[in-house]
Amino acid sequence: MAEADARKQQLQEKFYNQSIDTVRKELDTAVDGLTPQDADRRFQEYGPNALAEGKRKTNFQRFIDQFKDFMIIVLLVAALVSGFVGHEWADAAIILAVVLINAFMGVIQESKAEEAIDALREMSTPDAHVRRGGEVLTVKSEQLVPGDVVLLEAGDIVPADLRLTDAASLKIEESALTGESVPVEKDVATLDGDDVGIGDRTNMAFMNANVTYGRGEGIVVGTGMNTEVGRIAGMINSAEETTTPLQTNLNQLGKILTVLILVIAAVMFLVGILMHGQAPLDMLLISISLAVAAIPEGLPAIVTIILALGTQKMAKRNALVRKLPAVETLGSTDIIASDKTGTLTQNKMTVEQMYYWGKLHPATADIPLDNNALLAMNLANDTKIQPDGNMLGDPTETALVQYGLDKGYDVREEVKKMPRVDEVPFDSERKLMSTIHQLADGTFYVAVKGAPDQLLERATQIEVGENDVQPLDDREKQAVLAQNTALAKQAMRVLGMAYKIVDTLPDPVDSQTVENDLIFAGLVAMIDPERPEAAQAVAEAKSAGIRPIMITGDHQVTAEAIAGRLGIIDPGDDDAVLTGAQLDEMSDADFEKHVSQYSVYARVSPEHKVRIVKAWQKRGKVVAMTGDGVNDAPALKSADIGIGMGITGTEVSKGASDMVLADDNFATIVVAVEEGRKVFANIQKAIQYLLSANLGEVLTLFMMTMMGWDVLKPVQLLWINLVTDTFPAIALGVEPTEPGIMKRKPRGRKSNFFSGGVASSVIYQGILEGALTLGVYLFGIMNPVHTSAGDIHADALTMAYATLALIQLFHAFNVKSIHQSLFTVGFFKNKAFNWAILLSTALVAVTILVPGFNGLFHVRELDGFQWLTVLSAGVLMLLIVEIVKFVQRRMGKE
């Protein structure tokens, strides 16, 4: 047991700064690998080379969690009191139905929320080539153990973390782990230092990375959860679930309403008993009526429906929401922390500039098909073009072939005319690659590509025009080097091309015999270009008050150049760029203090991304994090809203996200933000409508109780809440986007549903509704149609009931905009709203006009004058609120 623990402790070491012999000694392995017996024994110690599965909730646990929300608890208590104490079982049944529907919808939305670890497990390669006891075997990757010797070749997926012991032109693409778009050239040299970043560990190969070129061998130094990918899986498991602004606001709203309801109910209860001599049970029932009037029992369901409708609209615009609250969270976003590779850029190397004949040419310019720079870049190239047109090979080389195809040069046809007869493969020391092709006249064309400085050392001539070759002097050489430097400063990857024609095949074919007396043909500059729509999206985000932040594993020069081209920073603004190494030197407190200074982070690790997100969150900002790689998953889960990429994104990043972009289009985020802002605005309208209406009901009951009048019955209040709250409130959720919504600043984390004048509007509008209802009741008493006291009170109560219901429907038109005039917003633009108002009006009228319902709802028929009085109160509500909004706009409170 102690031996196993000691060996597991070894896996925490940094093998990149140890020699190969030291690593072999530490892991007790040999050049021929482990013996089968030793491998079996270690498998028992370490277990499978697989990622641990995170603890998952069952659907039943998710269902129970839905009832932990404060508002839901309040509703459940109200339902129990209504049923068992007040015997108002209809009230209790409707409240419970709303709660259950809301709970089931929550379970459905969250059932797929924890898929990140499963996706990580599925990414593991099924087979690995391993040397054990001197023999090369093919085993399941899960069977690998520390100390195994693994063989790699182009096309393989690295099955575990390896310390490389052999690397022949080995290149490994690690963008999903490091964020760097270009494959990394690997070697076996021991690295110095204890803080070398993942992207700079050139003597290591990491689990789930792709071998794009060459071959190699390595010793397994990490398996399962002890790999770099495993550490990310552990971070995903331990990441805390963030509370969205919507959830926070709803919890706050529930607590505020509960306190107010308890205080008002207690006052009513005491006043009724002490001042009017009411029986305690009667006052308890009246208090229950107050609870029914005060609690917006449909609010959770209405919010869920509005969010769901927003989700459907966003899906049509390529933004797929996995968690409902994410819709609203987008609307409050202050920071979009975006991964560069594949999100802001295309994750595809592309030729951008060509330098030949002494001039720089854009990639869009025509080029002669017999240009030797074009020939050399295509011939000295190992890219394979498949029958379907897809290319296999190093991304840099495929970019060169694609450039040739775009210009009409098909290397497949050319090699039929001048077949490759020999080659000098690329290696990282000389940084060159050469191929030899036989021409029709029996001579040989030598094509060379590689590092410009290395080529210039081996060239004696330079091509300065078509069929115009001159000796390469110092002036020409310096001109080429200056151009190379200028392009490199623009974050472009620059390669040089050269050629020569020889009469006989060199013997032997090696660098000394082939790569000399060359004719320099030109330079090619490539970059992983920004997405065409990304710059416009960045500009729109800034105009909406949102700050875009770029986070990447790429080098500082590359990150700074792309950020400058996109408008994230001003070109050349070095002070806005921070590297991972510099971030490591800063304490959390110091970084949080200066985080607003930086807009670009280069050469960062997964831990850095989480740290950046949390630093902004501690500044009170709502952070959205976009990404597509495995390395993005922890930050995606830590952010207020994680945004994954649907096309290029790994299943890991999608599983950790709250929202996935189906088109990988950064501009879609801006669309989603606009929809999120509209959703919040519409939820705010619904809440303003519901609370002002409920406040009107509460004040009506409270004042009637204070005056000792007959009060409205629970069944009347329940019917009013059911028909006037639900349909109009839902219809307000599909109101069109108000003009200028993307010119407003983000609400931020501290905002709530009562911000922006909503609180004051709820109060004065609720008071106004209550006052108008009581006024109609008094008017009915003072202007009776009948003579008997009983009939007079029955008429007045019916008028109060009708007024309280219809006045809310009139008020719904006011709430179509918090500050804008109804005449600006438009009466009838929202068809769903119009139908909702008509349906609710009909349902209220049925209880009064249709025989048989009168007794059930304790009401009686009204005459024309009484109906005119009721409708006048509704029109008066509409006009008074419009006047108040006009005054507010004149005072600049919009």
Q: What pLDDT score was predicted for residue 55?
A: 59
Q: Residue 339 catalytic?
A: yes
Is 229 domain-assigned? yes
Q: Locate tokens 């006045």: which residue?
A: 807
Helices (H), 783-830: 789-814, 822-825
766-822 tens-digit pLDDT? 999 999 999 999 998 888 877 777 778 788 889 998 999 999 999 999 888 877 888
CATH at residue 685: 1.20.1110.10
Q: Of the residues 664, 686, 715, which one is the last residue of a structural domain?
A: 664
**pLDDT > 90: percent of the chain:** 33
For residues 372 and 496, state if they share a domain. Answer: yes
841-884 tens-digit pLDDT? 998 898 888 887 777 777 888 888 999 999 999 999 999 999 99
Q: Of the residues 199, 223, 238, which one is the last residue of a structural domain?
A: 238
CATH at residue 506: 3.40.1110.10
Task: Locate 588 and state its tokens.
Answer: 């959390």
* 3-state DSSP percent of the chain in helix, strand and coil, to 5: 55, 15, 30
Number of structural domains found in the chain: 4
Q: Active-site residue among 38, 161, 200, 339?
A: 339
Q: Is 361 exposed, middle or buried (0-12, 13-18, 19+ CB in 10 A)?
A: middle
For residues 774 and 852, state if they share a domain. Answer: yes
For residues 139 and 200, state if they share a domain. Answer: yes
Listed residue (219, 222, 209, 221) closest to 158, CA to CA? 209
- 4-13, 50-59, 73-82, 562-571: range with lowest mean pLDDT: 4-13
Is 669 domain-assigned? no
In angstroms, the CA 426 to CA 419 distance is 19
Task: Locate 469 and state its tokens.
Answer: 């070759």
φ and ψ at 659, to 5 degrees?
A: -145, 145
707-719 tens-digit pLDDT? 777 667 767 777 7
For residues 805 and 685, state if they share a domain. Answer: yes
For residues 289 and 369, state if they share a domain. Answer: no
Q: What pLDDT score was predicted for residue 122?
A: 47
Is 106 domain-assigned? no
Alpha-carbon distances, residue 832 vs 112, 348, 828 (angstroms): 31, 46, 9
In angstroms, the CA 223 to CA 209 distance is 14
Span 741-753, average pLDDT = 76
Span 412-439, average pLDDT = 91
Query: Which neighbouring-strand residues pair with 549?
Result: 337
Flag whether pLDDT at 409 surpasses 60: yes
Q: What pLDDT score was predicted for residue 556?
A: 84
Flag whether pLDDT at 112 surpasses 90: no
In angstroms, the CA 53 to CA 579 distance is 33
In angstroms, the CA 273 to CA 280 distance is 6
Alpha-carbon distances, residue 686 vs 829, 844, 882 (angstroms): 17, 20, 18
Q: Of the residues 480, 509, 527, which one is the last residue of a structural domain?
A: 527
In angstroms, the CA 859 to CA 486 distance is 86
Is 420 domain-assigned? yes
Q: Are 396 and 493 in contact (CB under 8 A)?
A: yes
For residues 576 and 488, state if they share a domain. Answer: no
In angstroms, the CA 332 to CA 550 distance is 19
- 271-275, 476-480, 513-517: range with lowest mean pLDDT: 271-275
In angstroms, the CA 228 to CA 198 distance is 9
Highest mean pLDDT pick, 105-109, 110-114, 740-744: 740-744
Flag whether pLDDT at 377 surpasses 80: yes
Q: What pLDDT score was predicted for residue 394?
A: 83
Is 826 domain-assigned? yes
In angstroms, the CA 666 to CA 311 distance is 18
Query: Both ends of the chain: CA-CA distance in Å?
Result: 70
Is 76 domain-assigned? no
- State the pTM of this model: 0.65
φ and ψ at 537, to 5 degrees?
A: -65, -40
In angstroms, the CA 245 to CA 149 distance is 51
Is 712 domain-assigned? yes
Task: Locate 544 and state its tokens.
Answer: 């909406």
Domain that holds residue 648: 321-346+531-664
Listed residue (332, 301, 354) closest to 98, CA to CA? 301
The mean pLDDT of the chain is: 82
Which DSSP letter does residue 192 get? P
Highest mean pLDDT pick, 195-199, 305-309, 576-580, 748-752: 576-580
For residues 761 and 787, state if they share a domain. Answer: yes
For residues 848 and 827, state if they share a domain. Answer: yes
For residues 799 and 709, state if they share a domain. Answer: yes
* Cα atoms in the 13 Å half-sphere on the side-chain side of 595: 24
619-673 tens-digit pLDDT? 989 999 887 766 677 778 888 888 887 776 666 677 678 888 877 777 888 888 8
Flag whether pLDDT at 380 surpasses 50: yes
For residues 355 and 339, state if they share a domain. Answer: no
Report the SS3 class of residue 403.
helix
Flag whether pLDDT at 123 surpasses 80: no
Listed residue (300, 291, 243) closest to 268, CA to CA? 291
Span 33-56, average pLDDT = 83
Q: Are 347 and 341 in contact (CB under 8 A)?
A: yes
* pLDDT bucket at 71, cuts 50 / 70 / 90: low
Is 80 domain-assigned? no
